[in-house]
Structure 1
């Protein structure tokens, strides 16, 4: 069995310029609110949607994505520095570590489904977070990603054994 190496790095970078497979964005219900022209009011989502030519707002409307906990949208995009973009919902607010662990697990599932090798995540509401909470939140998301990877692998192994 080949062991895969998992590495994490925290970087202060413009995620819209990140180069990789899956750009995952954690959102709350407040973040996905749109104006009368179907444009996001959240600054990060505005920039991301503009980069995608309105595809994100359109897909979120079609999928009735409103940021409720557990909702996710992952889109394949082309011509950008990343191959896929996903919105992963945390519900009304993200105030518990368990919500961020769940976010990490959802990101891991999407990464595995799309065979992503590299994943970057950002929180649409990061400007609202105090600097003292950011390491704990990043740690909870990382724990969720690791849980999601290994739980997903265990499920696949059990499924293969049944065949």
Structure 2
């Protein structure tokens, strides 16, 4: 989960999380986070409709419905619902103050920027980019290094995934 390691610099903070599939059971979500991060049991705690992130001493607003565009004040959106992966669907995030949207899934039409593989292709004027899927992020850097060093003629990959809300 993205809030597992929030930025601690004064120039960056998480403002809002839209979690439509789990908002009704925020306490259960936090329990699951605590199980995964057992060494840091007080890292995240439920507080009304917010998550309190201890290490950063910040509160993250959690919504289960549409984002109130006018009063968020965010600059960057990480679209990780799995539902909106095409530019025409995520462009709504650019309303008001958002400057850039990063799609955390493979997109049919957004430029794909993968760290180690092609981050040099990122241009400041791109306002929507895809950072591929978690599987791609785990594999692409590793494969690129091996290919550059030894060459890969053909490969095959098998993954096992659980069901998600999307």
The two structures have a TM-score, normalised by structure 1, of: 0.32
The two structures have a TM-score, normalised by structure 2, of: 0.31
Q: Which has the higher contact order (CA 8 A, sep 6+)?
A: 1
Tell me which protein shows more helix as a share of its residues.
1
Higher-Rg structure is 2
